[in-house]
Structure formats: structure tokens, C-alpha cells
Structure 1
Amino acid sequence: MKDNLQIATFAGGCFWCTETVFMRLEGVEKVISGYTGGHIKNPAYREVCTGRTGHAEAVQIFYDESKIDYKELLEIFFATHDPTTLNRQGNDIGTQYRSEIFYHDDMQKDSALSFVEFLEREQIFSNPIVTKVTPFDVFYNAEDYHQNYYNQNNEQSYCQFVINPKLKKFKTTFSNKLKNEL
């Protein structure tokens, strides 16, 4: 992996869905599924699923800013999940499925807050945005079987009924930003 990559950390519901979208973008070198925003160290999936750890299912996106910038990542983040539902995405319900941006520096913070303000001002969504913008603290990688989940399990029903429609919409909307090999 390149040394000059930037990192973005987003929680937008199930990390399998979020990872699947972002790993297909030109300029994204790596996406890791994991947990952030909670109050215990090294949580396991079974603990995070209870909602008692405070963690969100999230992804860390390692990207080349010369090919894709943070504002483009924000645009895709907001276009590929529902930022107006508190602690849920579709049938996935709980604080671990919340919408949250974990910023790594002041530029990311300012960009995220400005983008949310723009979306609200332009009334892009019919309901208010509930996405939190929070300073990044620590990220814990999810277990190995969660990494690259869709590509390894795309025949499973969750992938078929939840991720496939989201991926189809994403590929149509952002076709000019897709990697050639996927």
C-alpha cells in the first residue's frame, strides 16, 4: 500500500454494505471493516451487536487524494445510505448501525459539517439528517471473516437482498468513479 494515502472513517449502517461500495472507487486503495466510537477496547462482533459497547460498524477508507478527494467520499457516503434514520439502516436496527463521520483532522471536520449543511439547506432529503460528525479516536479491525465480505459471500441472502440493490444503484449513479477491474 502507498505511504501517502489519506484515511476517512465512516459509519453508515452495516459495514458489509459500506465496504462493498467504497472498495469499488477509483483512488481507494484499501477498505477495512471494523468498530469505532465505543467505550471498550478490542470489541468483538458479538459484543458490538448487542449495542452495549457504544461502537458503530464502520469502515476505514485508505485513499489517494490525487485520484479522489474527501468531498467526493462524502458525496458517495450520503448517497449510499439513509442519513435520516437514527440508529438504523433498513432492517438493521441499533446504535451500531448509526450514521456517523469520524473526522481525522480539521479539514475533514469542516468538509463534513459544510456538506451536511449544504444537504440540509438544499433539502436533498425529506427528513432531517441525523448523521453525527465526531472526532476520530480509535478503530478496531473487525474479525477476518468480515473483511471483503460481499466479494466472498455474494450468494448469501443478505448480500442478494440488501447489498445487491444498493450496489446496482451506486454503480449507476457513480459509474464515472468506478475502478476498471471490479
Structure 2
Amino acid sequence: MQQIGFGGSCHWCTEAIFLSLKGVGQVLQGWIASDGDNTSFSEAVIVEFDVEVISLETLIAVHLYTHSCTSTHSMRGKYRSAVYIFGEGQAAQAEAAILKLQSDFDEPIITQVLPFKEFKPNKEEYLDYYYSNPDKPFCQNIVNPKLRVLLERFGDSVDSERLNHLGR
């Protein structure tokens, strides 16, 4: 299994998205800090994945399509748009994937590729938030639309049993 970090949206949303994919073993939800210029913590997840089942490029595409990867809105400090790498080999792959996907978006992708430094987990009561609370208004109104994008664009990579409740 390999690890990669993603930030850019609420970690409840991001956790639900990546937990819904084949080849993802675990998603750790919380805050990530990076080395370099972006050392503050930002909401994010660490995704453990099997490269034999799902590629890093697919995970990055999922990430870009399920959050505002071109928006520099006022909440970017809390929701930094980033791919947090766990090794130099991932840096080149991540940068190439983002560059390749740029033509799919009208505005420039602002997602940064940053070296992972530190992780702080969320409180246990908030872990697996979506799958523990799928009927809550936040899940219905905010998470479900992102999961529908996942089903539409990445249906072959989705663990359909996890998303049966959304229909197809």
C-alpha cells in the first residue's frame, strides 16, 4: 500500500469520496501540515491505496473533480487545495497528472503538490462521518452531490456497494 494526502474541501467530504473507491484501504481524516511555504495545518485526508487496483493519477483526477480546484476563495487557508506527497517519486507523478488534467478545466488549477510533514487526526466522533451519518443534512446537501460526480465520472473505480444508496 502507498500513501498520498489530499486537501481542498471539508475533510468529511474528502474522506467519503476516497472511502468510496476500489483499492483504497484506509482514509485518515484530520489536518495536514507541509514543509516549505505552507507549514500551517489545513483540513485534509491521508489515503492508503493499492497501486495494483487504483493509480495515483486516478486518485488525483478524483480529487480535482470533487473539489473547487480552480477557486481561490476566502477559505483556502482552512481548505488548502493540495496533493501531499510522501516521496519524490510521487511529486513528478502528481505534477504530471495535474498538468495533464488542466485542459479539462476552464480556469487554472491551483492545487499545489506539497511535501507531507505532519498529520493531526480529527476527533474520533467525526471519523467516517458520512458513512455513519448519511441522512444528516450536511451529508445530503454537500457530500452526496460530490459522490454523484464520483459515480458519473469514475464509475469503474467506485466501490458500488458503498454507494448503492445513491442509485445509478
* TM-score (norm. length: structure 1): 0.81
1:127 aligned to 2:107? Answer: yes
* CA distance, structure 2, for counterparts of residue 33 and residue 13 of structure 1: 12
Aligned partner of 2:94: which letter?
A
Query: Please, which of 155, 172, 176 is the counterpart of residue 135 of structure 2?
Result: 155
Residue 117 of structure 1 is matched in structure 2 by 99
1:103 Cα deviation from its structure 2 partner:
0.7
Distance 2:62 2:26 in 1: 16
Name the CA distance, whole Å, in 1 between partners of 2:34 and 2:158: 32
Q: How many residues align?
A: 159
CA contact (8 A) 2:150 2:158 kept: no
Inter-partner Cα distance in structure 2 for 1:17 and 1:177: 17
Q: Determine if contact 2:34/2:114 at 8 Å carries over to the other structure.
A: no
Q: Measured at CA, do residues 119 and 176 of structure 1 come closer, stay the same or move farther in structure 2, by a change above 3 Å?
A: closer
Equivalent residue for 1:107, pick from 89, 97, 100: 89
For residues 138 and 73 of structure 1, the distance between their equivalents in structure 2, rounded to whole angstroms, comes to: 21
Whether 1:139 and 2:125 are equivalent positions in the alignment is: no
Q: 1:160 to 1:15 in 2, by over 3 A?
A: same
Please give the alpha-carbon distance, in whole angstroms, between the structure 1 residues aligned to 2:10 and 2:56: 21
Residue 55 (structure 2) aligned to one of 59, 69, 73: 69
Q: Residue 17 of structure 1 contacts residue 163 of structure 1 at CA under 8 Å; is this kept in 2? A: yes
1:112–1:87 Cα change, 3 Å: farther
Deviation string, structure 1 residues 97-118 (Cα, Å, up to 9, x no partner): 1211111111210011112222
The CA deviation string for residues 18-60 of structure 1, in whole angstroms up to 9 with x for no partner, is 1111101111011110111269xxxxxxxxxxxxx92111011
One-letter amino acid of the structure 2 residue matched with residue 78 of structure 1 = L
**What RMSD over aligned residues (CA atoms) do the two structures have, in Å?**
1.8
CA distance in 1, matches of 2:156, 2:137: 29
How many angstroms apart in 1 are the aligned matches of 2:41 and 2:34? 4
